Chain A
């Protein structure tokens, strides 16, 4: 993103204000599926100088996911309206001529984050608060009526069998597209198993799609904001729970590095008032591992074929063996 063009953009979007200044624009790590920039916007309004910390998320030239920024923006706007802990979405710009590629601007929440499992070095009191918030937010998300928030745009499944089938078919298709002629027996086995064992959901909810440790900002009082909504869709509530409790995002027996896995499920039941369906949970843990491998393959392909120069992309190769181990254990392939 370019400081001058961004300033001009805010002049157009905030005509009531004067003296717009974009300060400290810098690209930051995280949210690998979009280019993410942090900056402060300063402006004058009503005789006062104001400042607001913001984030710009621009479509990448390549990377982990091929998702719609408009969809992501609308989801964030909807869940923000519903009172969930998310950054306030501010502007969506689909005209690629403004900043080379579509982007959106949102409020910049301040807090700590990590790449994966919740840091073992954090105090126990912080871990407990984050764990509680993590499941409270998930329960609130899953309690929302997507129609009330205009999220039919995410494509409501027609039948209770659809969520599992749609997700399996989607990730299988992406795998076929991005495997670059390679064959991965464990992944093939997992996709075949998912196809043969679709589960039936008991309700359709908003699924975050990447609900896990590493995708929230927190401080000593708990979670400040859930991030990275680009894979949101409508589906089975067990999908986010399965993904969040995958061994891959955890530490030892701690789901997400937050809480012992069985206690995590019990707390989910308390928060949502819904039983954890073990069969569906298992299905979505398998789907989660398979999906994560496929996401890695997409990033690797984009790097190999020159669509991105992000050095995190080849790094993804190093993550795949652990996912294969997890899949092999789940499916009793060893």
Chain B
């Protein structure tokens, strides 16, 4: 493995800003910029390791949720709800390019809106809420070490 690793470079750059640049900065604005850069470099270092797994888990969960929605069948997804088209598109997108998160997420947006509006059947809403809960939990973990305190 080539050294320094990307993580080691980023950590080193954080130290450079903190130890070499920050003491030389007199403007509060520049100091603030340096501090937020340090925080974002920390987030980037953490994301370098965890983002691929996060994306993979997101795609897997989205596909699994739409598969579960398909199993619910037409009885739970009425024509009137307009969700049948979104489900078909999500399944097609997943089959066409299993790594295309955006295309599947676009259809999840339609389902989430239906849940918020009360247009989704209870079984459908349960699946969608389950996905959103897991998505929030994964995101919480992804950002756990980077979150600023306002």
Contacts and interface: CB of A to CB of B under 8 A. Distances in A.
Note whether A and B form a binding pair: yes
A185 B132 contact: yes
A189 B150 contact: no
Nearest to A194: B116
A27 B113 contact: no
Contacts of A183: 102, 105-106, 108-109
A191 B147 CA distance: 25
The binding surface of chain B is classed by DSSP as helix
A111 interface: no
A170 B143 CA distance: 29
Nearest to B109: A188
B39 A315 contact: yes
B112 interface: yes
Contacts of B27: 26-28
A318 B143 contact: yes
Interface string A15-51: 0000000000011110000000000000000000000
A321 B30 CA distance: 27
A325 B136 contact: yes
B58 to A, nearest CB: 11
Contacts of A321: 136, 139-140, 143, 147
B136 A328 contact: yes
Contact of B117 (A196, A325, A328): A196
B133 A334 contact: yes
A280 B125 CA distance: 25
Of B30, B117, B133, the most chain A CB neighbours within 10 A belong to: B117
Contact of A324 (B116, B128, B136, B148): B136
Of A188, A317, A332, the most chain B CB neighbours within 10 A belong to: A188
A311 B111 CA distance: 35
Interface in B90-124: 102, 105-106, 108-113, 115-117
A192 B117 contact: yes
Interface residues of B, number: 37
Nearest to A310: B33
A114 B149 CA distance: 11
Contacts of A328: 132-133, 136
B125 to A, nearest CB: 9
Nearest to B62: A185
Contacts of B33: 310-312
B146 A318 contact: yes
A102 interface: no
A185 B105 contact: yes
A55 to B, nearest CB: 13
Nearest to A197: B117
B15 interface: no
Given A29-B28, A186-B132, A325-B136, A192 B113 contact: yes
A333 B111 CA distance: 11
B36 interface: yes
Contact of B113 (A188, A214, A319, A332): A188
Nearest to B26: A26
B129 interface: yes
Nearest to B147: A318
Of B34, B40, B115, B116, the most chain A CB neighbours within 10 A belong to: B116
Contact of B37 (A311, A324, A325): A311
Given A185-B112, A318-B146, 7 more contacts: A29-B29, A184-B109, A190-B116, A318-B39, A319-B150, A324-B136, A328-B133
Closest 5 CB pairs of A and B: A116-B150, A188-B109, A192-B113, A189-B112, A27-B29
Interface of B: 27-30, 32-34, 36-37, 39-40, 43, 102, 105-106, 108-113, 115-117, 128-129, 132-133, 135-136, 139-140, 143, 146-148, 150
Interface of A: 26-29, 114-117, 181-186, 188-193, 196, 214, 249, 310-312, 314-315, 317-319, 321-322, 324-325, 328, 331-334
